[in-house]
Chain A
Amino acid sequence: MRPFGYAAPATVEQAVGLLAAEGSEALAGGTDLLSLLKDDVERVDRLVALRGVAGLSGIELDGGMLRIGAMTTLQELRDHEDAIAALPALAVAIDGVASPQLRAMGTVGGDLLQRPRCWYYRRGFGLLALTGDGRSMVAGGDNRYHAIFPTGQARFVSPSSLAPLLVALEAEAVVHGPAGERRLPVEALYRAPRTGGERETTLAPGELLVGVEADVTGSRSAVYEVRQRRSLDWPLMAAAVTLTGSGPRAEKARIVLGHAAPTPHVASAAGDFLSGRELTSETVTAAGDAAVEGARPMSGNHYKVQLARTAVRRALGQAAGMEI
């Protein structure tokens, strides 16, 4: 790693002040950032350690409102019996994170804001991985794990384990910055960069994700991940669904794909189709088909379209308690 400075603020205000300086990056669990620094994919002048910042970690279940501090580790969340009981799909999303070591180190904020796994990005070719004359290395190269819903030249996939579920739940992100606090849908944390200089998140310099909040009452959620190996691997495709209302009919359905697009991909056509309908084998299958409408797979990832259909179908089946 290249040399860098290090600051360990005690308060969110201090952290925000430090992060506003150019070349500063927040350090949470470090499992992703340190690898990027070792590989010289990212460079920093100073790391701002969040570990000692008061009040960033913890879990509250207040009525039906689940609040999770950004520095809560994935293991702490997994071990929180009330949170898991209120939102069992969390257990599936967390257990999908590769190993006990990563769950002990990795944080909720770090999971949401980890950088893409695209191997062109990880080799230093940038998030868009364009050649000097503007052609996509991904489209012309090995894209087996890349997006089936590319956005412009952004063809990497959003890697977060928790984001699809939180987006399906319409969770809010709480962000502190130089101008104070703002709240935004977790969905709005993400964007597909249009230029090589843009990041895949909407956080401004100096802004810090301090936590997320989700109303977990009155809905049923499920996460289904498709993976090649059971341990130490990333899902090839993931689907998260939230069904509002009880009984066989979904008043409202939110269906979100992970590992499918540069952002958590809200399959709105599929959600709209299912909203107000009874969940049956036929409607669930149709929702899976609707979820991949408009997919534009590349040379090596057509298989992910079928994985997305299946993941949606199975997630819906689990949320509705159906045998699919």
Chain B
Amino acid sequence: MKGRRVTDDAKRSGFSRRSFLRSGAAGALSGGLAAGLLTGETAGAATDAEAAETVGPGPVEVELEVNGVTRRLAVEPRVTLLDGLRDGLDVTGPKRVCDRATCGACTVLEDGRPIYACSRLMIESAGRSITTVEGLGSPDAMHDVQQAFVDNDAQQCGYCTPGFVVATAALLARHPAPSEHEIEAGLGGNFCRCGTYKGIRAVVAGGTGGGVSGG
């Protein structure tokens, strides 16, 4: 494997197709260790030693669902989900700030779970469902969390806001009435350099009917 381009054959069979099917199968299996994998009984279970195909480093077709719409594009394996969304699909809500799995401005939901889009390869999200801040609501029909950010003036420069909105939605989905500790733990993966944390706490407190002290 040195600088091999994706073959016509691979294009025709479609990486996205196979990876989509495979992801579906893996999803169905998840939740249990393969029988005997940790107990040394795998020989019969998986003797398929046929090597999986290597694709790239050139563009590979990937199919994934973004905000409820099936999207297909060709990306090099090295392209992150964040860059693929922004540059390939013009979904620019997730922001590129630290690009190192730290600041949270790129937070999106993958199959409902909050992840840093900067640190997931887009090809790894093939067959999965991505929700960005655009997918939560629109200016005309805002998600409750988006409306609460407006109502509580929970942003200044706004660069961290899309990630915070998605992370907040994920937090409230897990903990509809989060404790103060759960708020801190749930939003601990997002930074606001303007320091709008007090407003953001108020957003979350709104989801709880109040009772959370600010700042």
Interface stretch (choices B64-72, B118-126, B132-140): B118-126
The docked-state distance in angstroms from the alpha carbon of A47 to that of B122 is 13
**Contact flags (1/0) for A231-242 with B, using CB distance below 8 Å?**
110000000000
The docked-state distance in angstroms from the alpha carbon of A102 to that of B47 is 33
B22 sits at the interface (CB 8 A):
yes
CB distance from A58 to the nearest CB of B (A): 4
A105 sits at the interface (CB 8 A):
yes
Residues of B within 8 A of A47 (CB): 77, 121
| A232-B56 in contact (CB<8A) | no
Q: Are A232 and B32 also in contact (CB < 8 A) when A174-B38, A210-B38 are? A: no
Residues of B within 8 A of A23 (CB): 1
Q: Are A230 and B52 also in contact (CB < 8 A) when A13-B46, A23-B1 are? A: no
Those of B11-49 within 8 Å (CB) of chain A? 19, 22-23, 25-26, 29-35, 37-38, 40, 42, 45-49
| B22-A10 in contact (CB<8A) | yes
The docked-state distance in angstroms from the alpha carbon of A4 to that of B52 is 16
Q: Are A45 and B52 also in contact (CB < 8 A) when A4-B78, A100-B186, A101-B167 are? A: no
CB distance from A290 to the nearest CB of B (A): 34
| A58-B30 in contact (CB<8A) | yes
Q: Which residue of A lies closest to B101 (CB)?
A: A31
The docked-state distance in angstroms from the alpha carbon of A58 to that of B32 is 5
Q: Are A101 and B99 also in contact (CB < 8 A) when A21-B1, A54-B46, A69-B38 are? A: no
> Which of A13, A24, A176 is most buried by chain B, counting CB atoms within 10 A of its CB?
A13
Size bin of chain A's contact surface: 35 or more
The docked-state distance in angstroms from the alpha carbon of A72 to that of B29 is 13
| B34-A105 in contact (CB<8A) | no
Q: Are A45 and B48 also in contact (CB < 8 A) when A6-B60, A56-B37, A99-B188 are? A: no
Q: Which residue of A lies closest to B110 (CB)?
A: A104
Those of B90-133 within 8 Å (CB) of chain A? 99-102, 104, 107, 110, 113-116, 118-121, 123-124
Q: Which residue of A lies closest to B35 (CB)?
A: A55
The docked-state distance in angstroms from the alpha carbon of A176 to that of B118 is 30
| A31-B78 in contact (CB<8A) | no
> Which of B23, B46, B110 is most buried by chain A, counting CB atoms within 10 A of its CB?
B46
| B51-A101 in contact (CB<8A) | no
Q: Which residue of A lies closest to B78 (CB)?
A: A1
CB distance from B118 to the nearest CB of A (A): 8
Residues of A within 8 A of B42 (CB): 12-13, 55, 176, 181
B189 sits at the interface (CB 8 A):
yes
- Contact partner of A35 (CB less than 8 A), chosen from B31, B33, B101, B170, is B101
Q: Are A6 and B114 also in contact (CB < 8 A) when A45-B2, A58-B32, A211-B38 are? A: no
CB distance from B24 to the nearest CB of A (A): 10
**Contact flags (1/0) for A93-119 with B, using CB distance below 8 Å?**
001001111101100000000000000
CB distance from B204 to the nearest CB of A (A): 13
CB distance from B91 to the nearest CB of A (A): 18
The docked-state distance in angstroms from the alpha carbon of A5 to that of B1 is 7
A162 sits at the interface (CB 8 A):
no
Residues of A within 8 A of B53 (CB): 7
The docked-state distance in angstroms from the alpha carbon of A31 to that of B56 is 21
Taking Cβ atoms with an 8 Å cutoff, the residues of B that contact A are 1-4, 19, 22-23, 25-26, 29-35, 37-38, 40, 42, 45-58, 60, 76-78, 80, 99-102, 104, 107, 110, 113-116, 118-121, 123-124, 167, 170-171, 184-186, 188-191
Can you name 17 A-B pairs with beta carbons within 8 Å? A8-B52, A11-B46, A11-B49, A12-B37, A13-B42, A14-B49, A14-B50, A24-B1, A51-B26, A55-B46, A99-B188, A100-B167, A101-B116, A101-B189, A174-B38, A231-B188, A232-B102
Q: Which 9 A-B pairs have the closest CB atoms?
A: A55-B34, A99-B189, A231-B188, A3-B57, A6-B77, A58-B33, A9-B52, A11-B46, A1-B78
With A34-B101, A54-B26, A54-B34 already in contact, 15 other A-B pairs whose C-beta atoms are closer than 8 Å: A6-B60, A15-B52, A23-B1, A35-B101, A67-B33, A98-B102, A99-B190, A100-B114, A100-B167, A100-B171, A104-B110, A105-B119, A211-B33, A231-B185, A232-B188
